[in-house]
Amino acid sequence: MSYHCRVLVPVPFHYPPGAGARVGAGAGSPFPSASRALRLPRPRASVEKREQVAAMEEQGGQAALGWAARDDSGVLSPYSFSRRVPKDDDVTIKVLYCGICHTDLHVIKNDWRNAMYPVVPGHEIVGVVTGVGGGVTRFKAGDTVGVGYFVGSCRSCDSCGKGDDNYCAGIVLTSNGVDHAHGGAPTRGGFSDVLVASEHYVVRVPDGLALDRTAPLLCAGVTVYSPMMRHGLNEPGKHLGVVGLGGLGHVAVKFGKAFGMKVTVISTSASKRQEAIENLGADEFLISRDEDQMKAATGTMDGIIDTVSAWHPITPLLALLKPLGQMVVVGAPSKPLELPAYAIVPGGKGVAGNNVGSVRDCQAMLEFAGKHGIGAEVEVIKMDYVNTAMERLEKNDVRYRFVIDVAGSLGSAA
Ligand SMILES: [Zn+2]
Ligand SMILES: [Zn+2]
């Protein structure tokens, strides 16, 4: 079978809360386009609401300086605001580094029609604790910590009860989320000098990890680690395929090797072979457009992590799986993927999705990364480069993650 596909662009992606619920709601078709499913209603930011939010911000919270997008141009510029007054279980964090995820780009450009401007992006945050509320038990001032994709959940639903808080319908995103515990104010992310979050959504960063290289693990890292654990793709000797070598894929390769697995990178671009094998430690490299190579690898893999967000055929990838093998989709092409029954039924194969990971998974992932010295490959930038970085990210011109030196940018100069 031919495998002529568009360029495989590995792009981290997360659905905004509520997007999944809209799938199936389209009139006339049980299969609305994913792009339609992602079109969330534009929030009505009434004057009253803005004033209410402004009033809340004036009630004694810590002054914060961030960079925000004010409209769908997505251009970021300095923005002064106040963090919420810390609650009993809140941790105040001085932000040191914040990674740039492709989701940030979608949000600041209002691609999902849910931007609540001004938007302060950032959910791959590493920082140091500067203060704790009276009820905080797990952290103290001086601790190095991380905050990922979300800073709240309902803590009472079935998912929360099982520790799968990343699948809670009441999830509160770290950036551009709705802070229910604070009058519905929009949350502002890690492109800022200070953050206040409940200790339940803060993770400890083990000693010895390079903090700039750790920041992307808070989103990209846990997004691949979590499904690897859930589907048993963490056992020595098993064979893992990683589709797309970007922010997510390159970390998946590192985790796979640290688990003792055989790892094969699957890409459209032969130019990434050397990087994959020599620098990231992959065992093999498969060019997805090469029918002979794909045929030779048929039925050899226990699992595949597909990180590609551009539309691409998955049938040839499913053919690489052994019987009962598992593919996990962590990218999200806007056009529906094609899944012919013959690709999964005869081999009893599975196709699953995954959206980031729980706080528990995130902590376990960091412990694992600490033990094996795993960090993302990063390009560290100052905040005043962020708009250029966003332009480059849009073209996937980064190896493999931009990380903002927040403390080094906003600490004194701004
Ligand atoms: Zn992300
Ligand atoms: Zn919940």
Per-residue pLDDT tens over the stretch 11-24: 445 666 655 443 33
- Inter-axis angle of helices 220-230 and 247-258, nearest 10: 50
**Residue-range definition of the domain harbouring residue 313:** 220-353
Same domain, 228 and 254: yes
Between 6-15, 118-127, 322-331, the lowest mean confidence (pLDDT) is in: 6-15
**Looking at the CA of 251, which ligand is closest?**
1
Give the Å distance between the CA of 164 and the centre of ligand 2.
Answer: 8
**Considering only CA atoms, which of 366, 333, 329, 16 is closest in space to residue 216?**
366
Is 363 a member of any domain? no
> Cα(365)–Cα(218) distance, rounded to whole angstroms?
9
Q: Output the CA 171–ligand 2 centroid distance in Å.
A: 7
| Ligand found nearest the CA of 332 | 1
Cα 400 to middle of ligand 1, angstroms: 13
Query: Separation of 14 CA from ligand 1 center, angstroms?
Result: 6
Residue 108 has pLDDT above 50, yes or no: yes
Half-sphere exposure of 100 (CA within 13 A, CB side): 32
**Residue 27 pLDDT exceeds 50:** no
Q: In this predicted model, what pLDDT tens digit does every residue of 367-410 receive, in sequence order?
A: 999 999 999 999 999 999 999 999 999 998 999 999 999 999 99
Asked which of 353, 368, 393 is the last residue of a domain, the reply is 353
Residues 210 and 224 in one domain: no
* Other Cβ atoms closer than 10 A to 323: 9
Residue 249 inside a domain? The answer is yes
Q: Indicate the range of 43-47, 81-85, 92-96, 123-127 predicted with least confidence.
A: 43-47
Q: Is the residue at 21 inside a domain?
A: no
Looking at the structure, tell me whether residues 311 and 395 fall in a common domain: no
Asked, for residue 41, whether it belongs to a domain, the answer is: no
Identify which ligand lies nearest to the alpha carbon of 150.
1
Q: Is 13 a domain residue?
A: no
Is the predicted pLDDT of residue 1 greater than 90, yes or no?
no
Residue 19 has a pLDDT of: 55
Among 6-10, 92-96, 178-182, 294-298, which stretch is predicted with the lowest mean pLDDT? 6-10
User: Which listed ligand is nearest to 169 at the C-alpha?
Assistant: 2
Q: What is the mean pLDDT of residues 48-57?
A: 50
pLDDT of residue 270: 92
Is the same domain home to 54 and 198?
yes
Query: 34 alpha carbon to ligand 1 midpoint, in Å?
Result: 19
139 and 57, same structural domain? yes
In a domain, 15, yes or no: no
Q: 165: domain CATH number?
A: 3.90.180.10
Range 221-225 average pLDDT: 98
Report the separation in Å between the CA atom of 42 and the middle of ligand 2, taken as the mean of its atom positions: 24
Say if residue 4's pLDDT is above 70: no
Q: What is the pLDDT of residue 269?
A: 87
Q: Which helix (H) or strand (E) holds 203?
A: strand 203-204
Alpha helices in 241-305, H assignment, sequence order: 247-258, 273-274, 291-296
Measure 161 CA to ligand 2 centroid, in angstroms: 7
Query: Is the pLDDT reported for residue 56 higher than 80?
Result: no
Is the predicted pLDDT of residue 51 greater than 50, yes or no?
no
Q: In terms of C-beta density within 10 A (0-12 exposed, 13-18 middle, 19 or more buried), how is residue 25 classed?
A: exposed
The total number of structural domains that make up the chain: 2
In a domain, 187, yes or no: yes
- Tell me what pLDDT residue 151 has: 97
Beta-bridge mates of residue 68 = 77
User: What is the Å distance from ligand 1's center to 374 Cα?
Assistant: 18
Spell out where 56-143 has E strands.
63-69, 76-82, 90-99, 125-132
Q: What tokens appear for 228 in the block?
A: 């690897």
CA of 200 to the centre of ligand 2 (A): 13
Tell me the ligand closest to 147's alpha carbon.
Answer: 1
Percent of the chain whose pLDDT exceeds 90 = 80
Please write the tens of the pLDDT for every residue from 230-280.
999 999 999 999 999 999 999 999 999 999 999 999 999 899 999 999 999
- CA of 299 from ligand 1 middle (Å) equals 32
Q: Which two tokens stand for residue 103?
A: 């989701």
Task: Average the pLDDT over 184-206 and give the result.
Answer: 97
325 Cα to the center of ligand 2, angstroms: 30
- Taking the CA of 157 as reference, the closest ligand is 2
β-bridge partners, 186 = 178
For ligand 2, the distance from its centroid to the CA atom of residue 181, given in whole angstroms, is 14
Ligand 2 center–CA 232 separation, angstroms: 25
Same domain, 166 and 151: yes
Same domain flag for 156 and 285: no
| pLDDT score, position 15 | 61
Query: Is residue 49 pLDDT above 90, yes or no?
Result: no
Tell whether 268 and 201 lie within a shared domain.
no
Which ligand places an atom closest to the C-alpha of 170? 2
At 29 the pLDDT is: 34
Could you tell me the distance, in angstroms and rounded to a whole number, from the CA of residue 105 to the centre of ligand 1?
10
pLDDT, tens digit (0-9, with 9 covering 90-100), for 300-339: 999 999 999 889 999 999 999 999 999 999 998 889 999 9
Among all bound ligands, the one having the nearest atom to the CA of 123 is 1
Give the Cα separation of 359 and 165 in Å (integer).
7
Query: Which ligand neighbours the alpha carbon of 159 most closely?
Result: 2
Residues 196 and 328 in one domain: no
Identify whether 68 is part of a domain.
yes
Distance of CA 341 to CAs 311, 314, 338, 344, 351, Å? Answer: 19, 12, 10, 6, 11
The answer, yes or no, to whether residue 48 has pLDDT greater than 80, is: no
Strand residues in 278-394 grouped as ranges (E): 284-287, 301-306, 321-329, 350-353, 378-381
d(CA 345, CA 82): 54
**Residue, of 309 and 226, whose pLDDT is higher:** 226
> Ligand 2 centroid vs 13 CA: distance in angstroms?
21
Same domain, 391 and 346: no
Of the listed ligands, the closest to the CA of 102 is 1
- For residue 324, give the CATH number of its domain: 3.40.50.720
> From ligand 2's centre to the CA of 382, what distance in Å?
36
Q: Do 58 and 134 fall within a single domain?
A: yes
The pLDDT value given to residue 43: 46
Ligand 2 mean position, distance from CA 153 (Å): 5
Residues 57, 206: one domain? yes
Distance between CA atoms of residues 47 and 86, nearest Å: 26
Q: How far is the CA of 201 from the centre of ligand 2 (A)?
A: 13
Q: Which ligand is nearest to the CA of 99?
A: 1
